[in-house]
Structure 1
Amino acid sequence: MSDSDRDLKSRPDPDALLALAERGGRGKLTVFLGAAPGVGKTYAMLMRAQRLKQEGADIVIGLVETHGRSETAALLEGLEVLPRREVAHSGRTLREFDLDAALARRPRIIVVDELAHTNLGDGRHPKRYQDIEELVDAGIDVWTALNIQHLESLSDIVTQIAGVPVRERIPDTVLNRADEVLLVDLPPAELIERLREGKVYLPDNARRAADNFFRLGNLTALRELALRRTADRVDDQMVDYLKQNAIEGPWPAGERLVVCIGPDPLSERVVRTASRLASGLNADWIVVSIERADREAGDGEAMRQLDETFRLAEQLGAETRRIVGSDFVEEILKLARRENATQIVIGARRHWFPLSLFRASLPDALAKRVSGVGIHLVTGKIEPAAKPRRRSKQLLPEGLGRAFGIAAGTVGLATALGVLIEQVIILQNISLLYLLAVLASAVYAGYFAALAAALFSVVAYNFFFIEPVGTFTVAEPHEVFALVVFLAAAALAGGLASRIRDQAKTARGRATATQALYDFSRKLSGTANAEDVLWAAATQMQATLKRNAVLLLPEDVDIAVRVAWPPDTELSVSDMMAARWAFEKKEPAGNETGTLPNSPFQFRPLMSPHGVVGVCGFLQEGSPLDINEERALAAILDQTAIAVDRARLSRESLDQAAQLEGEKFRAALLSSLSHDLTTPLAAISGAVAGLRQLGEGMPQADREDLLNSIDEESGRLKHFVANLLDMTRLEAGTINARRDRVDVAEVVHDTVERARKYFPGRDFETSIAAELPLMRGDSVLLEQALFNLLDNADRFGGGEPVSIYARREGDEVVLSVTDLGKGIAPADLEQVFDKFFRKGKPDGRSLGTGLGLSISKGFVEAMGGRIKAESPALRRRGTRISMRFPAEPST
């Protein structure tokens, strides 16, 4: 074995470590498991609680049912007991566990008895195990008690053993997630003796229990189930420990089950059996239902039963799939190969003898084609014809009258047409008219109409066209054979035509749904705003489900309704609590769920690849969604979540781009500050130091040079600080340009004189048109804008003179500054007025801050003018920057 292989084997299992990390911050769940009532689960919990209380632990009794047992009640003394909430039920006032009080008290350990209890009233959860899960999620350790018969996967076995149906059930996943399972065991004989002594139930109840449930055989079987389940749980914990600590196996080979179900009662038993099998094998399992591609989803009752079976499978810890296909065997084998399944679990029904001769059952067909995969058949006492009879009983009265009416009408029309033809010409194949009637009946009314039309056609053809006419007697044997063949052909043709009709109807329905979803996805793809996405989703949901719909998104520290359709849809306080639960816990809440089911709305989280982005709610009360609506809703929610997430990411990307731009500006500003501040300061500091050191000993000319340098660099600093202040005013929007009458020629003259002082080495040429009109503006801002243009021309104008022109063009006054430097690249002409844009090689001066031209643009636009850069300007070189202002009308 190589060193790398040894290293891999010495590393803990990543999945095991991830599962361990996910438990961080959660409380611990301890389940006291027993085979039957009376074995002492509550007594054991309270004994342990008293022991920890004496050690100083913070332990509280949330709820304990003593069932009149004095020794159990005595153990409550000295323990803190939370008050219960009062609930009105069936005219009585009952006391239930107060979840909110427990969360507010927040002890380290809380004892909550009877895990499988159903809550009464309008509590947050319908089941107590859901209350306990919320306590554990809040970081509170919980102790609870459970009898083995209340596990969902074992309820059918317990019913078979004890003959008593189990009403209170919990998903097996609740026990699987428990951190500790303590088996409280008592021999069956001793338990029966306790029952007779009245230590389990009151005398009347104890007598009935002993005659029914508490029999030696029942208790022995239940005890075996409890021992087996506890052993499996301990084995799982040991495997988890070995994986987390990188202790070598041998590890058991991984098993994976594929469980096939359909819309029938046997499927529930198949799921329970598969759950027990998967638990025993410590295997993953997938529950799959296959729907024919050429058929409709089926009647509402069957689809509801299928949905309930899927929900049961999910509660028991299975992964669920729905597949559309025509060849059931091929689809099952394809899924088994894709998922690397080792076993297939499927229900086996008894078929009528005649049908079994012509068509093999699904398990038989699967067994013939499967290879290398085990098959488990689950049988039941379900009559094979019970389901079809019930379905026919529902369907026949609904369409029977119309089917027979169309069949009778088409056959009557064919008969009348045949009689008319017989008056003109005798035809040997007049029976083809009846075949046409059968096909027409099949197309317009389905298979029952086609079958009725075939029977009517045989009777009518015999009565009107077969000798002797007018009777139902057939004289020739070949005519009898012809009638039988015709009946068979008509029934077959009618069946094919009816099937084509059903396929066309199904195809139209699916095409309509697909087109609606396609239109919705196109609408979302062209929408980048989250508000538009929500409106499109709400209207699509309402149109598809015909129910009120609301969409909620995060807002500050809560969620809020952003869109509702119809717009007058309002949510109550309990509705908002369910919506918050769906958002925080990332699971459905509200009607028909395990959390706040009294709300008329059902809320589902909008899950994107980056987490939950919102919540969708729709009116659910009284009318659950069928399978087609569920599929449409799932598609709408998935697309909406992705679109909302895309809009959020788009908004965040814009914010990040703005931040990056701001960072770029800050970096440019700091770079400019480091040069444009330090350079003149260094020159001023050096000049001052020279004057101080040499003083009067320095020649007068040198002293004048140093003083001029100080004056020049001080001017540069003043100009730089002025630019920063001007840009700050522009960014803050505090520039208020005056609207005075401005003499442009005077401003040009003053600005050029100022520039000659600042840039003594540069020649400035001015050309001002005669009778130049006045303009409305701010002379101070205009002078600063023009000076910045001259400063830019001095930096990049080469050694050539800079020209300043002022002239009139139409109704505008145009000022332009032209230099003969290298010019500006065409790609940079639109960017030269951006903040901090610096490019090119100046003539012995620094690049500057990149604010001058941006400030000039801001000042010009504040006065209602326009500014533009052109390059090349003259002789294929140079740059011209022009400012245009509306001319003042002459009076």
Structure 2
Amino acid sequence: MTDSTSSRDGRPCPDALLALAQREERGRLKIHLGAAPGVGKTFAMLTNARRLAADGVDVVVGLAETHGRAETAALIEDLEVLARRPVVHRGRTLMEFDIDAALARRPALLIVDELAHTNAPGSRHPKRFQDVEELLDAGIDVWTALNIQHLESLSDVVGRITGVTIRETVPDRMLERADEVVLVDLTPDELIERLKEGKVYVAENAARAIDNFFRPSNLTALRELALRRTAARVDDQMLQYLRQNAIEGPWPTAERLLVCVGADEHSDAVVRVAARLAKALNATWTALHVDRPDRAATDEASIRRLDATMHLAERLGAERVRVIGTDLVTEILRWARRENVSQIVIGRSVRPPWWRRAWRRGLSEELVAQAADISVQVVTGASDRPRKATPPRGPDPRRLAVGLGVALAAVALSVGVGIGLTHVVDLPNVSMVFLSAVVLCALRFGRASAVAAAVLSFLAYNFFFIEPLYSFTVAKPHELFALVVFLFVAATVGSLAGRAHEQAVAALARARSTRALYEYSRKISGVSALEPLMWAAVTQVAGAIQGSAVALLATGGDLHLIGAFPPDVEMGVTEWGAARWAFQRGEVAGRRSPTLPNAELQFRPLVTASGTVGVIGYAASDPDHGLSEDDERFLASLADQTAIAAERIQLGDRATAAAASAESERLRSALLSSISHDLRTPLASILGSVTSLADFGDRLDEATRKDLLKAIEEETRRLSQFVVNLLDMTRLEAGNLELTVDWVDLADVARAAVARAARLYPGRTLVLAGGDRPLVLEGNATLLEQVLFNLIDNAMKFSDPPGVTRLRLAPRDGTAVIEVEDDGIGIPPDQLERVFDKFHRVAAGDGRAAGTGLGLSICRGVVTAMGGTITAASPIADGRGTRITVELPLPAAGPGPEIEETAS
């Protein structure tokens, strides 16, 4: 449901003017829209571009795809064409649109074909439409082409029609942002003929396309989608023009229906007639209700009927709109003209009594009389028969009695004041004293008290102040006239003041409800779980009606109680039946409703755009009295806000689960990719060596056999290291890595890791500093050795053979510091932290980083489990080199002074 805000007094719509001003600051976008490939979008775009270039316009072709069509290629020959930017991806060189060159050239008009294209990895934007948006924001006019199947909102529809999954899509906002949309149309027969002639695809591809995507039925459906979407866009542009220029419609372009909805019992029939008419005309339609602040609302049944009718209209496809105004006809026609409505549907009004027809016409008759430029259809039938009007809800008897008593007291006080004043000063007329009493009663107790005070003042004024005194007889005619005028003025003023008072009370109540809803919405905006949300909802409802409330949510296809206030609220069989009815049918059920009225609670469905998520039930403290109109409206609004919040939380949970699933899938894919590549290499080497020994062992010399056996041993060790890393990472992720702590000499551990690395990298220079003196701490020797070996292994991989790798050990400020340095290629500054992530490899794909990308991640996990820290720094000298620093806590009675560095 929306509120209507319109431009009045012939002024343009401010929002439309603001949108126009914003569009003037950017480039203009022209989209050539087609139903399918081959209809001639690029050909038409380049033909028009050549004509503009001939007229002196600075036209540049940023990118145009000819697909081997000679006619299209010939159109580019005389135009300036930007060179494409080469992008290397998976060993292939792709030629992409160069947005930087386009921004530097900055032509008046730029041609950028194929708006839905996905750019190659490494481009500034992943999609070409984002390139176009940047060009438009830079003030460059852009012409582009788009097929209807690539529009995001229609991709699933096209997929169902053609059976082809559309992977490249463009957001609908691009079509809405376009300043001009040109439909390039071709009949299905003509397009198929072009395919057969080889003007769209090569011969073998054309035959396959005709059998699949380019079937006549598919092309007809796509053509209809393109025509309808273009017509809708042009219609939106026409509405914008109307609002920008303060032109009131209707313009006879597209059919738009407006159905007027009231609180009477036959409005649902009028809505159904409007729905059938809109379907027959294939037109959009709106259900409009005008709230009158100057007239008190009717009974609760009417309020429920109005809500039910508006919900019915929404289910049938209408847009719900409520506006506020005192003149129904004026408000209806103003809204209709602003929205370019072509037809108004309204039920026939109840004819007023014969004695009122001379000066008052029914709503439908008045609307027909004033809507000279809009067709009005009056729905007749059941609404024409005379019906007994539902009596409005009467005032509170207690408040009425108090008001009458106050009116009597105020008039008595006025008599006393008037008599006292006549003895003090010579007053020719004391009627103003009585008029003051009438106004005071009206402002405090409403119209009933004001009318009573006016009548009593009329009698008292006559009896005490009109001669002959103390008699209701009037001696002079002008006194009688003055008395009658006084009665009229007093009654009128009292009625107006009373109405103002009642409207002020109603406005205050609405303000309180709005404030309460605002506070509630702010309270639930930060709630991220369903249980606290439902607890907030039931406490708010129970406090508003001074009763009890329950909340039930749908889980696994059935309702489950998730919140109740007070907590001892009981749900019987009848209550559960009413709750399930409200959930399944989307209607109010339970107490004081047509469905299961014997239930102790009334249930309202929590309806969202994606369906009903649950129900909320409530019961007032006094079950014999229904809720007021304001309470009903407040509860309806609160239910809507609760439903939206519940849907938001559920969508958030699904998004979190989807993100976790996607992350898990990404890690699984990365792991499988790493294993398939990194484990295949040592296995292939082992297999080759074993096969050589088996087939040619007796013909190989001793040195060759030793080399093959050594290769088998090295690759087996390498394969074993990969498996150990994977197992360690799995244990770390699951929290099952057993950390047996004992006293460990870090120097012994370092020497063992260095020896292990020396066997794996013979001939490489590895220097250990600080390993000649003990450095004792609490830890796990096996895991510490694995950490040091992983750090050394990583340094060796990323440095060239002449380089030197250094391992330093030293105590510092109560910690044992381990530093591993190399003079290799280094780590980019933006990846110093990411190198500790699982499967992350700085130089992936260059042949240097052989491994699963788990070594440093395992190091961080082990070091953190031991209470230490690990960091990376790069570059460390002359723009090269990397230093990995590990700090582990030393015991309180740690080793002595810092050890001198010695090389070994």
Class of the TM-score when normalised by the shorter of the 2 chains: 0.5 to 0.7
Match of 1:401 in 2: 401
- Could you tell me how far apart the structure 1 residues matched to 2:409 and 2:711 are? 115
CA drift at 1:653: 1.4
Match of 2:329 in 1: 329
Match of 1:649 among 648, 651, 654: 651
1:754/1:403 CA distance change after superposition, 3 Å: same
Letter in 2 for 1:707: L
TM-score, normalized by length of structure 1?
0.62
Match of 2:519 in 1: 519
1:769/1:746 CA distance change after superposition, 3 Å: closer
5 Å matches for 1:66-105? Answer: none
Match of 2:754 among 719, 732, 752: 752
CA drift at 1:823: 2.4
Structure 2 residue 446 is matched with structure 1 residue 446: yes
CA drift at 1:817: 1.3
Match of 1:635 in 2: 637
> Contact between 1:349 and 1:382, CA under 8 Å: does it hold in 2?
no
Match of 2:538 in 1: 538
> Contact between 2:403 and 2:449, CA under 8 Å: does it hold in 1?
yes
> Contact between 1:274 and 1:345, CA under 8 Å: does it hold in 2?
no
Letter in 2 for 1:488: F
Deviation string, structure 1 residues 232-259 (Cα, Å, up to 9, x no partner): xxxxxxxxxxxxxxxxxxxxxx998957
Match of 1:829 in 2: 832
Match of 1:33 in 2: none
- Could you tell me how far apart the structure 1 residues matched to 2:658 and 2:721 are? 33
SS in 2 for 1:890: coil
1:569/1:758 CA distance change after superposition, 3 Å: same
Match of 2:687 among 685, 691, 708: 685
Letter in 2 for 1:737: L
- Could you tell me how far apart the structure 2 residues matched to 1:275 and 1:863 are? 73
CA drift at 1:344: 3.4
Deviation string, structure 1 residues 176-221 (Cα, Å, up to 9, x no partner): xxxxxxxxxxxxxxxxxxxxxxxxxxxxxxxxxxxxxxxxxxxxxx
Structure 2 residue 860 is matched with structure 1 residue 857: yes
Match of 2:843 among 840, 844, 853: 840
Letter in 1 for 2:733: E
Match of 2:678 among 676, 679, 684: 676
- Could you tell me how far apart the structure 2 residues matched to 1:654 and 1:538 are? 27
Match of 1:658 in 2: 660
Letter in 2 for 1:856: C
CA drift at 1:812: 1.6
CA drift at 1:622: 6.1
TM-score, normalized by length of structure 2?
0.61
- Could you tell me how far apart the structure 2 residues matched to 1:701 and 1:553 are? 77
1:438/1:734 CA distance change after superposition, 3 Å: same
Match of 1:231 in 2: none
Letter in 2 for 1:438: V
CA drift at 1:708: 2.6
CA drift at 1:532: 2.3
Deviation string, structure 1 residues 793-851 (Cα, Å, up to 9, x no partner): 11123443122121222222121212222322232222221111111269964341010
- Could you tell me how far apart the structure 1 residues matched to 2:584 and 2:274 are? 34
> Contact between 1:348 and 1:363, CA under 8 Å: does it hold in 2?
no
1:602/1:340 CA distance change after superposition, 3 Å: farther
- Could you tell me how far apart the structure 1 residues matched to 2:499 and 2:617 are? 38
Match of 1:705 in 2: 707
> Contact between 1:288 and 1:322, CA under 8 Å: does it hold in 2?
yes
1:669/1:282 CA distance change after superposition, 3 Å: closer
1:744/1:317 CA distance change after superposition, 3 Å: closer
> Contact between 2:553 and 2:613, CA under 8 Å: does it hold in 1?
yes
CA drift at 1:784: 0.5
Match of 2:504 in 1: 504
Match of 1:742 in 2: 744
Match of 2:528 in 1: 528
Structure 2 residue 821 is matched with structure 1 residue 806: no
Match of 1:97 in 2: none
CA drift at 1:787: 0.9
Moved more, 374-383 or 408-417: 374-383
Match of 1:369 in 2: 370
- Could you tell me how far apart the structure 2 residues matched to 1:548 and 1:691 are? 86
Letter in 1 for 2:728: D
Letter in 1 for 2:855: G
1:436/1:770 CA distance change after superposition, 3 Å: farther
- Could you tell me how far apart the structure 1 residues matched to 2:729 and 2:653 are? 27
1:812/1:296 CA distance change after superposition, 3 Å: farther
Deviation string, structure 1 residues 53-83 (Cα, Å, up to 9, x no partner): xxxxxxxxxxxxxxxxxxxxxxxxxxxxxxx
Match of 2:250 in 1: none
Match of 2:886 in 1: 883
> Contact between 1:294 and 1:506, CA under 8 Å: does it hold in 2?
no
- Could you tell me how far apart the structure 1 residues matched to 2:819 and 2:768 are? 10
5 Å matches for 1:203-352? Answer: 262=263, 291-300=291-300, 325-331=325-331, 341=343, 344-351=346-353
Moved more, 500-509 or 563-572: 563-572
- Could you tell me how far apart the structure 1 residues matched to 2:704 and 2:398 are? 116
- Could you tell me how far apart the structure 1 residues matched to 2:256 and 2:718 are? 81
Structure 2 residue 555 is matched with structure 1 residue 555: yes
Match of 1:495 in 2: 495
5 Å matches for 1:108-127? Answer: none
- Could you tell me how far apart the structure 1 residues matched to 2:830 and 2:600 are? 62
Deviation string, structure 1 residues 738-774 (Cα, Å, up to 9, x no partner): 1201111111111111111112243222222886642
Match of 1:564 in 2: 564
SS in 2 for 1:807: strand
> Contact between 1:590 and 1:600, CA under 8 Å: does it hold in 2?
yes
CA drift at 1:443: 0.3
CA drift at 1:626: 5.4
1:430/1:830 CA distance change after superposition, 3 Å: farther
* Unaligned 5+ runs, structure 2: 1-33, 36-254, 895-904
> Contact between 1:767 and 1:806, CA under 8 Å: does it hold in 2?
yes
CA drift at 1:369: 2.1
- Could you tell me how far apart the structure 2 residues matched to 1:808 and 1:277 are? 86
CA drift at 1:705: 3.0
1:361/1:877 CA distance change after superposition, 3 Å: same
* RMSD, aligned α-carbons: 4.5
Letter in 2 for 1:710: I
Letter in 2 for 1:834: D
> Contact between 1:256 and 1:283, CA under 8 Å: does it hold in 2?
no
Deviation string, structure 1 residues 613-638 (Cα, Å, up to 9, x no partner): 23333449866655444433332333
CA drift at 1:723: 0.9
> Contact between 2:271 and 2:309, CA under 8 Å: does it hold in 1?
no
> Contact between 2:746 and 2:777, CA under 8 Å: does it hold in 1?
yes
1:321/1:591 CA distance change after superposition, 3 Å: farther
Match of 1:818 in 2: 821
1:534/1:685 CA distance change after superposition, 3 Å: same
1:650/1:275 CA distance change after superposition, 3 Å: closer
1:350/1:764 CA distance change after superposition, 3 Å: same
* Unaligned 5+ runs, structure 1: 6-253
Letter in 2 for 1:667: S
SS in 2 for 1:785: helix
- Could you tell me how far apart the structure 1 residues matched to 2:682 and 2:273 are? 86
- Could you tell me how far apart the structure 1 residues matched to 2:596 and 2:483 are? 65
CA drift at 1:546: 4.2
Deviation string, structure 1 residues 446-480 (Cα, Å, up to 9, x no partner): 12322333344445555666677777676766555
- Could you tell me how far apart the structure 1 residues matched to 2:742 and 2:733 are? 24
> Contact between 2:582 and 2:615, CA under 8 Å: does it hold in 1?
yes
1:544/1:340 CA distance change after superposition, 3 Å: farther
Match of 2:118 in 1: none
> Contact between 1:797 and 1:843, CA under 8 Å: does it hold in 2?
no
